[in-house]
Amino acid sequence: MSSDKDKVIIFDTTLRDGEQTAGAGLTADEKLRIARHLQTMKVDVIEAGFAASSPGDFKAIQQIAREIEGPVICSLARAVPGDIDAAAEAVKGAKRPRIHTFLSASDIHMMHQMRKDRETIMSMAVEAVRRAKSYVEDVEFSPMDATRTDPEYLYAVLRATIEAGATTVNIPDTVGYTNPVEFKALIEGIRENVDNIDQAVISVHCHDDLGMAVANSLAAVEGGARQVEGCINGLGERAGNAAIEEVIMALKTRFDYYGLTIDTEPGDIGATSRLVADVFGFPVQYNKAIVGQNAFRHSSGIHQDAFIKERTTFEIMEPDAVGWRGEALVLGKLSGRAGLRSRLSDVGYRLTDEEMDITFAAFKELADQKKEVTDRDLEALMSEQHRDADVERAYKVVKVDVVAGDVNMPRATITLLAPDGLERVNSSNGTGPVDAVCNAIDGMVDEEIELTEFAVNSVTEGIDALGEVTIRVRGADGNIYAGRGSSTDIVVASAKAYVNAINRVLAMAGDVATEQTQEV
Ligand code: KIV
Ligand code: ZN
């Protein structure tokens, strides 16, 4: 049996640092759906959000804390009493709650951001940990910008916060500045110079500004860190965090080298990655390690030849291990409810009879348009069912009628079901069919929005593939909101995505982070 010293704790912060990705913003329902997948993956810790940042995030953390069992549920908090109280309240319902409090420790942050001296920062950190400890046993402390902090001061802060009760001390490379050799040495230095370090787990939290976040995290593990923080698909502030799926698979695949175990199971990584991409509206690059579409595709003749003779010649991981099922064709228009239920359960959805009725009707409609319905199509279909699920005042696309081409000016007639339960119809011209659709919708919705981004992706290959549209709009509050929609007709998908973006503006306006918490 492995001891705790031989185990690396996997800390997922997709729902917190990942949500800080510019242009992201999730509803409580979306966060819960992702958390369920993280639970299936058996990650050790889910950082569900930043309770004090907005009422919506508070509610999302509370729901996750109440529903998700297994992983520790954590909320971030600045080292100020109000934040810690909010975090404690949000994670109260969890079987295993954690408060993660943080404070800048580098001189550059102290001088320009905090405008406080080292003594003040030290006592704020200690006070914050003590306050968190009065609520929960499991407290994590992060000296922000640790890799640009004077090591002697860093050691002193760590010593004091462990004494105050921190059970995990996290070493953030907040601006992605370090490199593997330097970071490993920093962790070793901490183990040598902080005399009470054996009373806490050393964690690392690496950003990817120089593309070294995963390498830095693994080097830190070699130096003695036993918790790694990261996000699915490498999302996060600026260039993102360490891609947690890469850390997981590196530790598993190179067990011969690292000799460390993890409890996390990678079988659901693929589905989790696709859900995160869908909900955040950030498609995964094709050649991304572990979860990119090409991650297990062999294209050159020499590789293919060797691969057919012996898989391990060109494959270091089993695609199955991360839930990669290729493009297996599964269902068609003659498939019944039992077949659909079984495939849905394979891709991680267990539905009530009532949900099944709605989903089966949508499936039949899709199967009429598309000869073969794959697992990917089913995931897109489920995402479509969940869109706007927890938005109270939502618009819904009822009908899209478009005339386009290069003879006459494109014109769209759109029927919407408005939040008051009444149908509205409007027609408009546009420079193209999508522009006409958006203009027609604008004429029925009172929101001031500006379209900033439009992208189409196909879910699978083939002429009848489902098209997935991502639209980003700027709301009147200046924030960016993403909307998604899928259909075998990309103009219909565009109408759905645009309306989804409008619904998010309606749902989230007034629930954006306060000015101070935006500065984290
Ligand atoms: O990057 C960072 O320093 C953070 C802290 C809040 C841990 O996200
Ligand atoms: Zn971060």
* 91-116: pLDDT as tens digits: 999 999 999 999 999 999 988 988 88
* CA 6 / ligand 2 centre spacing (Å): 25
Atom of ligand 1 nearest to the CA of 76: 6
Q: What is the pLDDT of residue 231?
A: 98
Phi, psi of 405, rounded to the nearest 5 degrees: 130, -175
Q: What is the pLDDT of residue 3?
A: 60
Residue closest via CA to ligand 1's atom 3 equals 174
Q: Which ligand is nearest to the CA of 175?
A: 1
Question: Given phi > 0 = left and psi -120 to 50 = alpha, else beta, which region is 70?
Answer: left
Is 121 buried (19+), middle (13-18) or exposed (0-12) by CB count in 10 A?
buried
What is the tally of helices (H) and strands (E) in the chain?
17, 16
pLDDT digits (tens, 9 = 90+) for 234-264: 999 999 999 999 999 999 999 999 999 999 9
pLDDT at 487 over 60: yes
Which pTM does this prediction carry? 0.88
* CA 21 / ligand 1 centre spacing (Å): 13
Q: Which ligand is nearest to the CA of 172?
A: 1
CATH classification for the domain delimited by 396-508, as one of 3.40.228.10, 3.40.50.2000, 3.30.160.270, 3.30.300.30: 3.30.160.270
Write the single-letter amino acid at 445.
V
Q: Identify the band that residue 169 occupies on the pLDDT scale cut at 50, 70 and 90.
A: very high
Q: Decide: 135 and 99 in contact? Cβ < 8 Å.
A: yes
pLDDT at 509 over 90: no
* CA 172 / ligand 1 centre spacing (Å): 6
Within 8 A by CB and 6+ apart from 175, the residues are: 145, 147, 148, 207, 209
Q: Give 22's DSSP letter.
A: T
Q: What is the pLDDT of residue 77?
A: 98
Is 53 buried (19+), middle (13-18) or exposed (0-12) by CB count in 10 A?
buried
Rounding to the nearest 10 degrees, give the CA dihedral for residues 371, 489, 394, 349: 30
Within 8 A by CB and 6+ apart from 274, the residues are: 284, 291, 376, 379
Q: What is the pLDDT of residue 207?
A: 98
Question: Judging by DSSP bridges, how do beta strands 329-331 and 227-230 pair with one another?
Answer: unpaired
Neighbours of 398 (CB within 10 A): 12
Atom of ligand 1 nearest to the CA of 170: 7
* CA 171 / ligand 1 centre spacing (Å): 9
Domain ranges of the chain: 9-280, 396-508
Residue closest via CA to ligand 1's atom 5 equals 144
- Interior angle at CA 394, CA 393 and CA 395, nearest 5: 130
Q: What is the pLDDT of residue 326?
A: 59
Q: Partners of 103 in the beta sheet? A: 143
* CA 159 / ligand 2 centre spacing (Å): 22
Residue closest via CA to ligand 1's atom 4 equals 174
Choose one of 102, 106, 518 to mutate for the ligand 1 pocket test, by most ligand atoms within 8 angstroms of C-beta. 102
Q: What is the pLDDT of residue 316?
A: 92
Residue closest via CA to ligand 1's atom 6 equals 102
Residue closest via CA to ligand 1's atom 8 equals 17
Q: Decide: 249 and 322 in contact? Cβ < 8 Å.
A: yes
Q: What is the pLDDT of residue 510?
A: 55
Choose one of 205, 207, 209, 216 to mutate for the ligand 1 pocket test, by most ligand atoms within 8 angstroms of C-beta. 205
Q: What is the pLDDT of residue 163?
A: 98
Atom of ligand 1 nearest to the CA of 16: 8
pLDDT digits (tens, 9 = 90+) for 273-322: 999 999 998 989 999 999 998 898 877 777 777 778 888 888 899 988 99
Q: How far apart are CA 262 and CA 269, in angstroms?
A: 14
Question: Top-level CATH class of 9-280?
Answer: alpha beta
pLDDT at 2 over 60: no
Mean pLDDT, the chain, integer: 92
Dig out the tokens for 440 from the structure: 């027609």
What percentage of the chain carries pLDDT values higher than 70? 96
Q: What is the pLDDT of residue 92?
A: 97
* CA 22 / ligand 2 centre spacing (Å): 13
Q: What is the pLDDT of residue 515?
A: 44
Q: Which ligand is nearest to the CA of 236?
A: 2
Write the single-letter amino acid at 498.
Y
* CA 475 / ligand 2 centre spacing (Å): 26
Q: Which ligand is nearest to the CA of 517?
A: 1
Q: Which ligand is nearest to the CA of 143?
A: 1
Q: Which ligand is nearest to the CA of 203?
A: 1
Q: Decide: 442 and 414 in contact? Cβ < 8 Å.
A: no
Choose one of 106, 142, 149 to mutate for the ligand 1 pocket test, by most ligand atoms within 8 angstroms of C-beta. 142
Atom of ligand 1 nearest to the CA of 142: 7
Give the residues surrounding ligand 1 with Cβ less than 6 Å away: 17, 76, 102, 142, 144, 170, 172, 174, 205, 207, 520
Atom of ligand 1 nearest to the CA of 144: 3
Dig out the tokens for 321 from the structure: 């291990």
Q: Which ligand is nearest to the CA of 149?
A: 1
pLDDT digits (tens, 9 = 90+) for 420-459: 999 999 999 999 999 999 999 999 998 889 999 999 988 8
Dig out the tokens for 501 from the structure: 């973006």
Least Cα distance to 167 among 137, 204, 125 occurs for 137
Considering only 124-128, 344-348, 396-400, which range has the smallest mean pLDDT?
Answer: 344-348
Atom of ligand 1 nearest to the CA of 172: 3
Q: What is the pLDDT of residue 519?
A: 45
Choose one of 16, 75, 169, 207 to mutate for the ligand 1 pocket test, by most ligand atoms within 8 angstroms of C-beta. 207
Least Cα distance to 274 among 457, 506, 475, 517 occurs for 457
* CA 295 / ligand 1 centre spacing (Å): 29
Least Cα distance to 290 among 230, 372, 205 occurs for 230
Residue closest via CA to ligand 1's atom 1 equals 174
Q: How far apart are CA 44 and CA 73, in angstroms?
A: 9
* CA 13 / ligand 2 centre spacing (Å): 9
Q: What is the pLDDT of residue 514?
A: 45
* CA 358 / ligand 2 centre spacing (Å): 40
* CA 48 / ligand 1 centre spacing (Å): 14
Dig out the tokens for 13 from the structure: 């912060």
* CA 145 / ligand 2 centre spacing (Å): 9
Phi, psi of 206, rounded to the nearest 5 degrees: -110, 135
Q: What share of the chain is helix, strand, coil (3-state, %, to 5)?
A: 45, 20, 35
Within 8 A by CB and 6+ apart from 44, the residues are: 9, 10, 11, 71, 72, 227, 263, 264
Atom of ligand 1 nearest to the CA of 520: 6
Q: How far is CA 107 from CA 111, 122, 143, in A?
A: 6, 12, 12
Average pLDDT over residues 125-140: 98
- Maximum separation of any 2 CA atoms in the chain, in Å: 78
